[in-house]
Amino acid sequence: MQCPVCNHENGDARFCERCGSNLTGNHASSDLTDTVTHTDSGSADSEYTRWSSTQQPASYEAAPTRSSSVSPVPSSVQDNENASNLGSADGSAQNQGANQWSNIVQNEKVQQAKEVSKQYLSYFLSVLARPYQSMKTVGEQHALHGLVTMILFALLSSTYVLITFVRLEGEGLFISGFLRPLLYAVIILIVAMALIYGVLKLERITFRPKMLVAQLGTLLIPAIITLALANVMIPISYSFALSLLVLSYIILFVSMNTLLFHHPLDRTKAMIDSIYSVLIVNAVLFYVIYRLLSSVIAGFFGGLFSPFGRW
């Protein structure tokens, strides 16, 4: 063994024969160096094995990543298709909801119409027995019933004229036989209400217009019965039907006067007495009815004998 201090070659001695240096520590250090070298190489091999074993799954995991990086185009298309399907589903749901809502509204309107008709029928039957007593107890909530009564009055008057024209072989005179009489009947009712309103304003009486509509409609209930009978009796007896028509308009005059005298007409300082005001009102209404009735008759005969007057 060579001494590391003096480079003297020694045998298997533990100390150097020349300088006496300890040769055992150097051997141990060399052994230690070899051990460390083998250990490091072994650990390096094991580390390399460990690294290669950990890197191989990483390479395998990279494949899905690449595949996932390639797939955005089909996924976006699928997302668009899903969005379109959802949009169409939402649109159909909205349409279905709108249809359901319209059906609900229509059903509510039908139910309301049925309810109003039931209420009017009960009101009609209760008023028919005692119209005057009912007129004194009605309120503004019955204004709709009074308006319906006036509409029925105008419709039944116009249907009477139409049936009469058809019976006299005036077929096709829809304008002269129905629309014009309907308009004239509405005008007569409006004039009657305006005259009542004017007299009460002239007498300085406090009132509510809705109350007037309810009260006049209540008093006109018997006129509805007479007009309905007049329409039914035209094919059986025209003279009797005409008498019922006249009676219905007499009821209109009586109703207007009853409503006027229901209020206290007691102007003491007026230029004319209240009775004369009522007479003037009746004369005006009679004149309006006469003019409109003569216009209906003239229009009927003019259309009957004119070659261009038929519809």
Give the tens place of pLDDT for each residue, 23-57: 775 444 444 444 444 444 444 444 444 444 444 44
Least confident segment among 43-47, 101-105, 174-178: 43-47
Kindly state the average pLDDT of the residues 293-309: 62
Among 31-40, 98-107, 235-244, the range with the most confident prediction by mean pLDDT is 235-244
What does 158-212 look like in DSSP terms, one character per residue?
HHHHHHHHHHTT-TT-HIIIIIHHHHHHHHHHHHHHHHHHHHHHHTT----HHHH
**Chain-wide mean pLDDT for the chain?**
76
Percent of the chain past pLDDT 70, that is, above it, reads: 67
CA dihedral 127, 129, 133, 135 (to 10 degrees): 30
Average pLDDT of the segment spanning 87-106: 68
Return the pLDDT at 86.
63
Contact indicator for 191, 292 with CB cutoff of 8 Å: no
More confident residue, 13 or 43: 13
What does the pLDDT average to over 146-170? 88
Element (H, E) at 289: helix 274-305
| Rounded mean pLDDT, 264-270 | 67
Cβ contact 288:225 at 8 Å: no
pLDDT higher than 70, residue 59: no
Where residue 84 falls among pLDDT bands split at 50, 70, 90?
A: low
Which whole number is the average pLDDT over 70-96? 58
| The pLDDT of residue 252 | 96
Percent of the chain predicted with pLDDT > 90: 33
CA distance 148 to 152: 6
Q: Under a CB-based contact definition with an 8 Å cutoff, are residues 20 and 4 in contact?
A: no
Residue 297 has pLDDT above 70, yes or no: yes
Cα–Cα distance for residue pair 177/309, rounded to 1 Å: 12
